[in-house]
Amino acid sequence: MKASLAIIASLFLSTCSQLPSTLSQILISGELRVVTLNSPSTYYLGAEGPQGPEYDLCAQFAADMGVALHIYSVRNITQVRNEVSSGRAHIAAAGLGTEQTAPPNAGYGPVYQRVKEHLIYRSGNEKPRDLRDAVNRGYMEVAANSPHSAMLHRLRLNEPDLSWAENPEAETDELLYRLSRREFEYTIADSNEFAIGRSFHPDIAIALDINQGKSLAWLVNKQDASLLSRVTSFFSVIESDGRLHRLLANYYDNSQRYTTPALKAREFIDNVRARLPLYEDWFKETATNVGMDWRLLAAIGYQESKWDPDATSFTGVRGMMMLTEDTARSLGVADRTDAQQSISGGAKYFLSVRKMVPSRIKEPDRTWFALGCYNMGFGHIEDARILTQSFGKDPDKWINVRQYLPLLTQEKYYAQAKRGYARGWEPVQFVDNIKLYISMMDWVGAEGGLAQKIEQMEADNMSNEEDGDK
């Protein structure tokens, strides 16, 4: 980067001509600098590497220009805006609303998404009629210094009795998690934030729309019009060819990822009957060959794909055990959609991450940590273990670490973590789900075919109901 800028400066001095445009400087240097926020609706480090709607958009934009993407996060929106205004970043991609005036030397690109602000409550509670009714019914908490906080302050000019608490340490996704745990009654979230949170916390719901919404756009360096023109053209193309819709749908149209416990159990039993008999022998054979419990292997497969060998995620992982292309290649899996190959690869991958867990950790904690690594990657789990130890708890016990994993959504904690922000409740739910599926298998009976056991059990239930009617 420094060498490229030196070349640009040399050319400028030798020719006494104007500096190249912002777009030309990016193309010459070969690097696009983007500032963002560390959050699930923008950018974060997932098990397969960088993820997030804003990250994916920026990666496509950089690829279209043929340059490398350098994306970095700062702590708040004020810093995001300053990075572009100062010229340190070419673009800010951080879920910014265009209702705020652009800072000096910057302008908004085209609107790529419109979101509403929702009042969120917990399903099963009485739904409030309006904000005043919500205040009378219970406690509302929002993130401090957030657009939601600013909106409430504006509303209070006409509603002086409106009250709420501001949390200086939590972002919206953390508040949605805490709301699902009944720590308070209400919070406020943008519709895109809610869409992501709802897929992990199925017991939260929209009480009402607070406003008609806001428009999201990138903030672009505007020392000249070149970069803004290229950004405008990019969004026009990806909107017309469907890429923008598909990308946003990957993150936000995902409401069925997690279901309520009752529906989850019912669906699992249905799939035990319909799908497991097709693959049960392969799970057992593979587990025997590698020395692990076949129920554990089958439970991982169900959690990852619901035993669907053709499953594909938006991040590019595929197959029964949801392996990345690189992981599959390293494990000798030629076809990720081949169920037998995928099951074998998934078993090998699980054992490989299990070896990363410190040998002093004994069972069953060793297995729970390995499952957390399978879901989120070793790095974030290690960050959570370090955090757990900082609270004076034993980091070798999963029951302790699962308590502190969700704190990696709070800036106070993830800012000190080596790998930054993480959706810490996700591996907790992943491990809990695996435990549930194994328990259900044990409950039905491990031998003689689970599907047949369930069919017999349901036949017995029907017979008992008929006897009762008589």
Residues 6+ apart with CB under 8 A from 127: 121, 207, 208
Structure token digits, residue 263: 């529906």
How far is 18 from 38, CA to CA, in rounded Å? Answer: 37
Closest CA to 389 of 410, 403, 409: 403
The CATH class, in words, for 2-113+216-252 is alpha beta
Strand residue runs (E) in 243-328 = none
Residue type present at position 461: N
Tens-digit pLDDT profile for the chain (470 aa)? 455 545 444 544 444 456 789 999 999 999 999 999 988 889 988 777 788 999 999 999 999 999 999 999 998 888 999 999 999 999 999 999 998 899 999 999 999 999 999 999 998 899 999 888 998 888 999 988 888 898 899 999 988 889 999 998 778 888 998 899 899 999 999 998 898 888 778 889 999 999 877 899 999 999 899 999 999 999 999 999 999 998 888 888 754 444 555 567 778 888 888 899 999 999 999 999 999 999 999 999 999 999 999 998 766 789 999 998 889 999 999 999 999 999 999 999 999 999 999 999 999 999 999 999 999 999 999 999 999 999 999 999 999 999 999 889 877 888 889 988 888 888 998 999 999 899 887 776 544 444 455 455 445 544 544 444 43
For residues 103 and 221, the answer to whether their CB atoms sit within 8 Å is: no
Residue the block writes with tokens 């399903």: 123
Q: What is the CATH number of domain 117-211?
A: 3.40.190.10
Q: Do domains 2-113+216-252 and 117-211 have the same CATH topology?
A: yes
Catalytic residues: 304
- Which architecture does CATH list for 261-455? Orthogonal Bundle (1.10)
Residues 6+ apart with CB under 8 A from 412: 169
Give residue limits of the domains in the chain: 2-113+216-252, 117-211, 261-455
The pTM for the full model equals 0.71
How far is 18 from 6, CA to CA, in rounded Å? Answer: 15
Residue the block writes with tokens 């803004």: 228
SS3 (DSSP) at 317: coil
Three-class HEC string of 127-177: CCCCHHHHHHHCCEEEECCCHHHHHHHHHCCCCCCCCCEEECCCCHHHHHH
Residues 6+ apart with CB under 8 A from 272: 441, 444, 450, 451, 454
Structure token digits, residue 346: 């998934």
Kindly report the number of other CB atoms within 10 A of residue 388's CB atom: 22
Distances (CA, A) of 303 to 245, 267, 310: 27, 12, 14
